[in-house]
Protein backbone atom coordinates (compact mmCIF):
# COMPACT_ATOMS: atom_id res chain seq x y z
CA UNK A 1 0.00 0.00 0.00
CA UNK A 2 2.81 2.40 0.90
CA UNK A 3 4.63 1.57 -2.36
CA UNK A 4 1.51 2.38 -4.43
CA UNK A 5 1.03 5.66 -2.57
CA UNK A 6 4.68 6.62 -3.11
CA UNK A 7 4.46 5.75 -6.83
CA UNK A 8 1.27 7.81 -7.31
CA UNK A 9 2.84 10.70 -5.40
CA UNK A 10 5.94 10.63 -7.65
CA UNK A 11 3.85 10.57 -10.84
CA UNK A 12 1.70 13.47 -9.62
CA UNK A 13 4.79 15.48 -8.65
CA UNK A 14 6.39 14.90 -12.06
CA UNK A 15 3.25 15.89 -13.96
CA UNK A 16 2.78 18.96 -11.78
CA UNK A 17 6.39 19.97 -12.36
CA UNK A 18 6.04 19.66 -16.14
CA UNK A 19 2.78 21.61 -16.11
CA UNK A 20 4.21 24.35 -13.86
CA UNK A 21 7.28 24.62 -16.07
CA UNK A 22 5.14 25.68 -19.01
CA UNK A 23 2.87 27.83 -16.85
CA UNK A 24 5.68 30.01 -15.46
CA UNK A 25 7.69 30.45 -18.64
CA UNK A 26 8.66 34.10 -19.24
CA UNK A 27 6.70 35.89 -21.96
CA UNK A 28 3.38 34.33 -20.98
CA UNK A 29 1.17 36.35 -23.33
CA UNK A 30 -2.29 35.71 -24.76
CA UNK A 31 -2.09 33.70 -27.96
CA UNK A 32 -3.46 34.89 -31.29
CA UNK A 33 -6.38 32.97 -32.70
CA UNK A 34 -7.55 32.18 -36.20
CA UNK A 35 -11.14 32.36 -37.50
CA UNK A 36 -11.99 29.05 -35.84
CA UNK A 37 -10.85 30.30 -32.45
CA UNK A 38 -7.79 28.06 -32.46
CA UNK A 39 -4.44 29.44 -31.35
CA UNK A 40 -2.20 30.19 -34.31
CA UNK A 41 1.17 29.09 -33.02
CA UNK A 42 2.39 26.16 -31.01
CA UNK A 43 4.84 28.29 -29.04
CA UNK A 44 1.89 30.43 -27.88
CA UNK A 45 0.00 27.27 -26.91
CA UNK A 46 2.98 26.04 -24.88
CA UNK A 47 2.89 29.29 -22.91
CA UNK A 48 -0.88 29.39 -22.34
CA UNK A 49 -2.06 29.05 -18.75
CA UNK A 50 -4.94 26.87 -20.03
CA UNK A 51 -2.49 24.04 -20.69
CA UNK A 52 -3.31 21.29 -18.20
CA UNK A 53 -0.60 18.77 -19.00
CA UNK A 54 2.59 18.82 -21.08
CA UNK A 55 4.63 15.85 -22.25
CA UNK A 56 8.02 15.85 -23.96
CA UNK A 57 7.03 13.05 -26.34
CA UNK A 58 3.89 11.07 -26.97
CA UNK A 59 2.70 8.01 -28.85
CA UNK A 60 -0.99 7.35 -29.56
CA UNK A 61 -2.76 4.67 -31.56
CA UNK A 62 -6.29 3.80 -32.58
CA UNK A 63 -7.72 0.47 -33.60
CA UNK A 64 -10.92 -0.81 -35.07
CA UNK A 65 -12.23 -4.36 -34.90
CA UNK A 66 -9.07 -5.55 -33.17
CA UNK A 67 -6.83 -4.15 -35.93
CA UNK A 68 -4.58 -1.10 -35.52
CA UNK A 69 -5.83 1.74 -37.74
CA UNK A 70 -3.15 4.35 -37.07
CA UNK A 71 -0.22 5.23 -34.80
CA UNK A 72 0.85 8.81 -34.05
CA UNK A 73 4.12 9.95 -32.47
CA UNK A 74 5.03 13.53 -31.63
CA UNK A 75 8.04 15.28 -30.07
CA UNK A 76 5.90 17.40 -27.72
CA UNK A 77 2.26 17.34 -26.62
CA UNK A 78 0.11 19.53 -24.42
CA UNK A 79 -3.42 18.89 -23.23
CA UNK A 80 -6.03 21.64 -22.97
CA UNK A 81 -8.68 19.79 -20.98
CA UNK A 82 -11.24 22.60 -21.24
CA UNK A 83 -11.32 22.16 -25.03
CA UNK A 84 -10.57 18.42 -25.13
CA UNK A 85 -7.66 19.41 -27.36
CA UNK A 86 -4.26 17.75 -27.53
CA UNK A 87 -1.68 20.03 -29.18
CA UNK A 88 1.33 18.31 -30.76
CA UNK A 89 4.65 19.31 -32.29
CA UNK A 90 6.27 17.38 -35.16
CA UNK A 91 3.48 14.78 -35.45
CA UNK A 92 4.26 11.65 -37.47
CA UNK A 93 1.32 9.40 -38.24
CA UNK A 94 1.44 5.92 -39.73
CA UNK A 95 -1.93 4.95 -41.23
CA UNK A 96 -2.56 1.27 -41.96
CA UNK A 97 -4.79 0.61 -44.99
CA UNK A 98 -7.40 -2.01 -44.12
CA UNK A 99 -7.98 -3.57 -47.51
CA UNK A 100 -4.53 -4.04 -49.02
CA UNK A 101 -2.26 -3.79 -45.97
CA UNK A 102 -0.37 -0.80 -47.37
CA UNK A 103 1.00 1.92 -45.12
CA UNK A 104 0.68 5.69 -45.46
CA UNK A 105 2.95 8.19 -43.65
CA UNK A 106 1.82 11.70 -42.67
CA UNK A 107 4.05 14.38 -41.16
CA UNK A 108 3.83 18.09 -40.38
CA UNK A 109 5.42 20.74 -38.18
CA UNK A 110 2.45 21.10 -35.79
CA UNK A 111 -0.98 19.66 -35.16
CA UNK A 112 -3.83 19.06 -32.77
CA UNK A 113 -6.22 16.29 -31.87
CA UNK A 114 -9.86 16.70 -30.87
CA UNK A 115 -10.38 13.39 -29.13
CA UNK A 116 -14.18 13.33 -28.81
CA UNK A 117 -14.74 14.56 -32.38
CA UNK A 118 -12.10 12.10 -33.70
CA UNK A 119 -10.37 14.84 -35.70
CA UNK A 120 -6.62 15.25 -36.18
CA UNK A 121 -5.24 18.42 -37.78
CA UNK A 122 -1.78 18.48 -39.32
CA UNK A 123 -0.59 22.08 -39.63
CA UNK A 124 2.35 23.60 -41.57
CA UNK A 125 4.41 21.67 -44.13
CA UNK A 126 2.08 18.69 -44.34
CA UNK A 127 3.51 15.77 -46.32
CA UNK A 128 1.80 12.44 -47.07
CA UNK A 129 3.41 9.49 -48.81
CA UNK A 130 2.05 6.12 -49.83
CA UNK A 131 3.95 3.98 -52.30
CA UNK A 132 4.55 6.30 -55.27
CA UNK A 133 1.86 8.83 -54.28
CA UNK A 134 2.46 12.09 -52.39
CA UNK A 135 0.24 14.92 -51.14
CA UNK A 136 1.54 18.27 -49.84
CA UNK A 137 -0.21 21.26 -48.28
CA UNK A 138 -0.34 23.56 -45.27
CA UNK A 139 -3.36 22.06 -43.47
CA UNK A 140 -4.69 18.50 -43.43
CA UNK A 141 -7.81 17.56 -41.45
CA UNK A 142 -8.22 13.83 -40.78
CA UNK A 143 -11.78 12.88 -39.83
CA UNK A 144 -11.69 9.55 -38.00
CA UNK A 145 -15.45 9.06 -38.29
CA UNK A 146 -15.61 9.51 -42.08
CA UNK A 147 -12.04 8.24 -42.56
CA UNK A 148 -11.31 11.19 -44.84
CA UNK A 149 -8.28 13.42 -45.30
CA UNK A 150 -9.10 16.96 -46.36
CA UNK A 151 -6.75 19.72 -47.53
CA UNK A 152 -9.21 22.65 -47.11
CA UNK A 153 -6.58 25.24 -48.06
CA UNK A 154 -5.47 23.40 -51.17
CA UNK A 155 -2.53 21.27 -51.97
CA UNK A 156 -0.46 19.43 -54.52
CA UNK A 157 -0.46 15.76 -55.36
CA UNK A 158 1.71 13.49 -57.45
CA UNK A 159 1.86 9.85 -58.38
CA UNK A 160 3.18 7.54 -61.01
CA UNK A 161 2.73 9.37 -64.29
CA UNK A 162 0.72 12.35 -62.97
CA UNK A 163 0.81 15.42 -60.79
CA UNK A 164 -1.57 18.23 -59.99
CA UNK A 165 -3.02 20.75 -57.60
CA UNK A 166 -6.38 22.09 -56.42
CA UNK A 167 -7.83 24.61 -53.97
CA UNK A 168 -9.49 21.79 -51.98
CA UNK A 169 -8.52 18.11 -51.99
CA UNK A 170 -10.32 15.32 -50.12
CA UNK A 171 -8.92 11.81 -50.01
CA UNK A 172 -10.82 8.74 -48.82
CA UNK A 173 -7.92 6.25 -48.55
CA UNK A 174 -10.04 3.20 -47.74
CA UNK A 175 -12.25 3.84 -50.81
CA UNK A 176 -9.28 4.83 -53.00
CA UNK A 177 -11.14 7.99 -53.97
CA UNK A 178 -9.78 11.53 -54.34
CA UNK A 179 -11.96 14.57 -55.04
CA UNK A 180 -10.60 17.99 -55.95
CA UNK A 181 -12.35 21.34 -56.34
CA UNK A 182 -11.36 24.84 -57.42
CA UNK A 183 -8.59 25.57 -59.91
CA UNK A 184 -7.95 21.86 -60.47
CA UNK A 185 -4.90 21.19 -62.61
CA UNK A 186 -3.74 17.68 -63.53
CA UNK A 187 -0.61 16.95 -65.56
CA UNK A 188 0.10 13.57 -67.14
CA UNK A 189 3.70 12.67 -67.83
Q: CA–CA distance from 7 to each of 14, 20, 24, 38 (Å)? A: 11, 20, 26, 36
Rounded mean pLDDT of 183-189? 93
What is the homologous superfamily of the domain 52-188 according to CATH?
Answer: Lipopolysaccharide (LPS) transport protein A like domain (2.60.450.10)
Average pLDDT score over residue span 49-62: 74
Model confidence pLDDT, tens digit, residues 147-172: 899 999 999 999 999 999 999 999 89
Q: What is the pTM of this model?
A: 0.71
User: Do the strands 58-64 and 67-74 form a parallel or antiparallel pair, or are they unpaired?
Assistant: antiparallel
Q: What is the DSSP string of the chain?
A: -HHHHHHHHHHHHHHHHHHHHHHS-SS--PPPB-TTS-BS-HHHHHH-TT--EEES-EEEEEEETTEEEEEEEESEEEEEGGGTEEEEES-EEEEE-TTT--EEEEE-SEEEEETTTTEEEEEEEEEEEETTEEEEEEEEEEETTTTEEEETT-EEEEETTEEEEESEEEEETTTTEEEEESS-EEEE-
Domain assignments of the chain as residue spans, ordered by start: 52-188
Mean pLDDT confidence for 67-92: 88
Amino acid sequence: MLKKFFFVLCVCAALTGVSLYYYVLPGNTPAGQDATGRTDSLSDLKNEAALNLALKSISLSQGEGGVELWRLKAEWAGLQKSEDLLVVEKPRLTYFMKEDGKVMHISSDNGNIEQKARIIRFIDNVHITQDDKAFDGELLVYNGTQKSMNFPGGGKFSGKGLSGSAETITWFPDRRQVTAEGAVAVYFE
